Every structure is written in C-alpha cells, then in structure tokens.
Structure 1
Amino acid sequence: MYSTILVPTDGSEGAAEAVRVGLTLADRFDAEVHALFVVDERFVATDYDLVVEEAETEAERALDRAGRQGEDAGVAVEKHLRTGLPHEEILDATEDYDADLVVMGKHGRSGLDRFLNVGSVTERVVRRAEVQVTTVPVSQEASE
C-alpha cells in the first residue's frame, strides 16, 4: 500500500510519536522511511553563526533520535536536513523522495506561527499535499 513514508520531525514529543507510527506502517508495508528536519529560514540569519549552529545541532539530535527509533524497530531510516519554510520543504520532499505517505505530529514545537496565529505547519501540509497525510496526536503517556 505504501512504498515510501516521509516523517518530518522537529524533535518534539509529537514528532517522536509520529516517527513511531511511521515506522510501524513502514514495517507492515515494507516501506522506506525518510526522516526530515527543516531548519526554519525565518529564524536563522546567516549573520548569526551561533543560531545556525544551534539549529543544526537540534536537527542532528532529532534526526539521530528518529534513526535510533528506526533501529529499535528494525526499520532503516534515511535522514535529511533542509533549510527553508517548513511546510514548503516538507511538500517538496514528498516529491523529491517519491513519498506516498506523510506521517507527522499534530503539534510540534510552538513558534512564531502560533504566536501570530497563521496556522501550523501540519495544517499547511494537510491542505496542500498531493499524497495522503496522517496526523498523529501526542499520547497522554508521552506528554507526562
């Protein structure tokens, strides 16, 4: 049913839950998994090397966590790091990696989007994706 699953992550518990669901589906359907972290270009200015370094370190941690979850589940995970507008990069990645399913958390890290009330990354992906998108809530267990 699915051959390639894209799992965006931001290192949050919601994203970790989505990775778990994505890996379960990948195992069931013998699908490839691509974990993606997008460094939001709106919060990273090239003049601030420390901010860029911190964002990339956070990205590496989140992708490594997804990779470890994959190892634990017996599913290989390809890790990708991009910089740009998160929803646009996720949509582009579905095409680039030929994904037929996106699995993402309903709630990730809060940021400027929430403050400005312009909609979440997940909402934007769900509205614009040309492939199926499965949204995963944070379980009560994971949020405690």
Structure 2
Amino acid sequence: MQHSGDTKQKQFEMPDAVDELLAGLVGNRQTMQRQAATIDEIMEKSNNTLIHIESQNKALAPTTAAPGAQKLVNVKPVCKQALVKILENFKQLVQQNSEKRDDKHSVLDGVLACRQRVEHLASTVRKLVALCDTVHQLKTHQEDLDAEDEDLS
C-alpha cells in the first residue's frame, strides 16, 4: 500500500517539475527577447551616431575641389594591399557560399546571408570612412598648430 502512495506522490511531483522547467524556459526566452531588443537599440543608435559623424565630417570638410572633379586620395601601399586582400577574401567567401549551396538551402537563405554580409560590410565601411575623416581632421589641426608655432617663432 505504501508503494502506491509513493507512486502517486511522484506523479504529482513530475508535473510540478515540468511546469517549473517550462516556466524557466519562458523566462529565459523573454530575457533573450529583451536582450535582443536592447542590442538592436544599441546597434541602431551606433549606426545613427556614425551617420551623424559622417555628415558632420562632410560638412566640415573643405570644398576646394570643383564639383565635377574626383577626390584623389593618397593611400599607403600597405593600406592598398589590405583593401585588396579584404575584397579578394569577400569574393572567395561569396564563391564558396554559392558552391556549397545545395538542395538543403533555399535561395532565400542565401539572399538573407548575403544581405547580412553586405550590412556588416556597409557598417565597417562607415566606420572606416569616419576614421579616415577623423584622421584627416586631426592632421589638419596638427598642421594648423605647426603653422601657428612657426608664426610665433
């Protein structure tokens, strides 16, 4: 008799454990959703900040060139090599992705993956442009300071 009482008690404990597990999963899911929303907000703010910095830098940049003239930039050979390497690696990545594509993956998955890569590259390019503009401003500021020092001497 006592054995059947233990079995009933275990049967009542099991649904409680499952309910607790499910409640924990729901709580974790909600936490992950809040974290994802927070991360999305941070990413949006950082992108907006970068866009604002770019627009400020473009507004502050001297407009000495003619409207139709191209802007020439002197780039060190090391930078050129790095950019070429980045572009080659991206090209290889896209080729590998298209070669690996089989019936398991739909075209939509490939498009979404490429879109994510493009967004990542666009974000990286914005950061590089902002960095270049900042370096240009620092260089201009240093040249101005050097010119003032020469005038004072």
| TM-score (norm. length: structure 2) | 0.24
More strand by share: 1
* Larger radius of gyration between Structure 1 and Structure 2: 2
More helix by share: 2
| TM-score (norm. length: structure 1) | 0.25
Structure ranking higher on relative contact order (CA contacts 8 Å, 6+ apart): 2
